[in-house]
Amino acid sequence: MRSSSFATLACTLALLVGWTLTPAARTQPPTAPAGSPAPAAPAASALAMPPAPPDLAEPPPDAEKTASGLVMKVLQPGTGQQKPGPGDIATFHYTGWTADGKAFDSSLRRRRPSTLFVDRLMPGLGEALQAMVAGEQRRLWVPEALAFKGEAGKPAGRLVFDVELVGFEPSPRVPPLDVMAPPAEATKLPSGLAFRVLRPGTGTVNPKRNSRVTVHYTGWTTDGQMFDSSVLRGQPATFGLDEVIKGWTEGVALMVEGEKRRLWIPARLAYGNEDGKPRGMLVFDVELVKIEKL
């Protein structure tokens, strides 16, 4: 969040899961939100495609069929309790096969999961993820009407997917419950900045105030209005900590790589009454992806 310019929100996330592009996404570049790199073309060292499951042709009798026509079978129960909503950001592994047993795409081959908005996926895959909890694995039999709908150049007919929901994060469009003011458990600093650690990091050093960092973030006003989000743009931001508002300089300098914090930044450490900028206290969820330069 640069102090010299206020970035307007540009929600142009590509609708990507390897081959599973919806028609509206074909002209957009592949991007991935929430800190995950966009899927890349498999390298020479990539894993081979997983073999087709034995029940590819027809679902087993104990598979569940939904009203939409999607058929699912739980392969491994999950350990989570909550299920993602349509606007949430899911991280998942998947492999897709055509009815003749040909694997056409797999995150396992790329050795990393995909991270995408649930409501940006093909209908069958999005419906299935909303029925799952973290750690759960399912096999999906997706009818053509919930897949590519006969689109030229895409896998035709019913498709079969093995999907594992690694985890998910709430939609950045939805403000946190404590957006109005820092809760009692938040740490309050003498400057007026308050913060709460949402996820511990894996790094061991803090950036300096003149370091260059890469972060993912979402910002809200205290009435719950989201005004900017790198998560929705699908691309983290990189900048010098001495180039941003004072609350960011102070707050991010306390973090380590991999850490995610919620910052409550008073107006005097944000934009004050500057025209064209958000006013009053601002709330940011910030994930420190990488310290580019100490």
Instruction: Return the SS3 of 244.
Output: strand
**pLDDT band with cut points at 50, 70 and 90 for residue 234:** confident
Give the per-residue pLDDT at 15.
Answer: 22
Catalytic residue among 88, 89, 148, 245: 245
CA atoms within 13 A on the CB side of 273: 0
* Residue 161 in domain: yes
Give the per-residue pLDDT at 1.
Answer: 63
Give yes or no: residues 38 and 113 share one domain: yes
**Rounded Cα gap, residues 273 and 280, in angstroms:** 8
* Residue 181 in domain: no
164 φ, ψ (degrees, to nearest 5): -120, 120
**pLDDT band with cut points at 50, 70 and 90 for residue 49:** confident
* Residue 256 in domain: yes
Q: What is the CA radius of gyration of the chain?
A: 21
What single-letter DSSP state applies at residue 235? S
Give yes or no: residues 207 and 283 share one domain: yes
**Report field, pTM of the whole predicted structure over 0.85:** no
Give yes or no: residues 214 and 248 share one domain: yes
Per-residue pLDDT tens for 190-226? 999 999 999 999 999 999 999 999 999 999 999 999 9
pLDDT at 41 over 50: no
Lookup: tokens for 65: 């069929």
* Residue 260 in domain: yes
Q: Assess whether 245 carries a catalytic annotation.
A: yes
Give yes or no: residues 89 and 129 share one domain: yes
Query: Minimal CA–CA distance to 165: which of 204, 208, 118, 212?
Result: 118
CA atoms within 13 A on the CB side of 221: 9
Please say whether the beta carbons of 139 and 125 come within 8 A.
no
Q: Which residues neighbour 127 within 8 Å (Cβ) at sequence distance 6 or greater?
A: 66, 68, 70, 146
Query: Minimal CA–CA distance to 285: which of 208, 228, 203?
Result: 228
**Rounded Cα gap, residues 226 and 222, in angstroms:** 9
**pLDDT band with cut points at 50, 70 and 90 for residue 14:** very low
Please say whether the beta carbons of 128 and 138 come within 8 A.
yes
- Chain centroid to Cα 271, Å, comes to 28
What is the residue range of 134's domain? 23-169
Query: Minimal CA–CA distance to 165: which of 113, 110, 119?
Result: 113
Domain boundary among the residues 169, 197, 231 is at 169
Per-residue pLDDT tens for 100-122? 999 999 998 888 888 888 998 99
Catalytic residue among 92, 271, 285, 291: 271
Average confidence score pLDDT of the chain: 84
* Residue 28 in domain: yes
Catalytic residue among 217, 265, 285, 291: 217
* Residue 259 in domain: yes
- Domain count for the chain, please give it: 2
**Rounded Cα gap, residues 68 and 73, in angstroms:** 15
Query: Which amino acid belongs to residue 211?
Result: S
Q: Assess whether 223 carries a catalytic annotation.
A: no
Please say whether the beta carbons of 212 and 205 come within 8 A.
no
Give yes or no: residues 146 and 207 share one domain: no
Q: Assess whether 265 carries a catalytic annotation.
A: no
Q: Assess whether 89 carries a catalytic annotation.
A: no
Catalytic residue among 88, 105, 162, 228: 228
Give strand ranges (E) for the chain: 64-65, 71-76, 89-98, 103-106, 114-117, 137-142, 159-169, 187-188, 194-199, 212-221, 226-229, 237-240, 260-265, 282-293
* Residue 14 in domain: no
Give the per-residue pLDDT at 7.
Answer: 35
Q: Assess whether 271 carries a catalytic annotation.
A: yes
Q: Assess whether 228 carries a catalytic annotation.
A: yes
CATH (domain of 159): 3.10.50.40
Query: Which amino acid belongs to residue 224?
Result: G
